[in-house]
Amino acid sequence: MATTADFRNGLCMKYNSDLYQIIEFQHVKPGKGPAFVRTKLRSLTSGKIIDNTFNSGVKIDVIRIETRKYQYLFHDESGYHFMNTDDYEQTFLPKELINAPEFLKEGNNVDIMFHADEEKALSCDLPAFVELEVTFTEPGVKGDTATNATKPATVETGAEVKVPLFINEGDKIKIDTRTGAYSERIKE
């Protein structure tokens, strides 16, 4: 058991029969009345973010979370298959636990967060940026725009991304997996 004095960003706890991670917190000591702690919590099961206030000194149930490196293998009707890079043990996850499944490419390394006591997978995070090849896009016409214009492009995983007009088929691009947005063209 821990108290509100132990709060820190990233701390995981069991609260209201769900698992939450503290995104941010602030200790408040008003001039009148008891101290309290304002928090922003993200549910590890649904991803929903809630605001909550705890009275100072309240006991909380801290849970132990482990992050392990896995490599993406393939997906089929049973889910997405991953291999632990340390002991080569395989596991599979449903699509709902993966933050950007449309950008997963065979061989990509990911971080899978596990509830250490129950050995249950909670989430799968891709790296912040992935490099993918453009497999289809319409040709951009020079002088077609006055400002930053974009066009749709399909990448090798099948996902569609908005890219600048100068991107052509066969180009490698860097994509931000958190937003799904084009970041830059990779020069070879």
Model confidence over 85-113: pLDDT tens digits? 899 899 989 888 888 899 999 999 999 98
User: What residues does each domain of the chain span?
Assistant: 2-62, 65-125, 129-186
Give the pLDDT score at 97: 84
How wide is the angle at C-alpha 160 spanned by C-alphas 158 and 165, nearest 5°? 125
**What is the band of 62 on the pLDDT scale with cuts at 50, 70, 90?**
very high
Q: What is d(CA 155, CA 30) in angstroms, rounded to the nearest whole number?
A: 53
Contact (CB, 8 A) for 175 and 155:
yes
Q: What is the pTM of this model?
A: 0.76
Model confidence over 107-165: pLDDT tens digits? 999 999 888 888 888 888 899 999 999 999 988 766 666 567 888 999 999 999 999 88
Considering the segment(s) 2-62 as one domain, its CATH architecture is Roll (2.30)
Check for a shared fold between 65-125 and 129-186: yes
- The CATH number corresponding to 129-186 among 2.60.40.10, 2.60.120.20, 3.30.70.2860, 2.40.50.140 equals 2.40.50.140
Q: What is d(CA 77, CA 91) in angstroms, rounded to the nearest whole number?
A: 14
CATH code at 65-125? 2.40.50.140
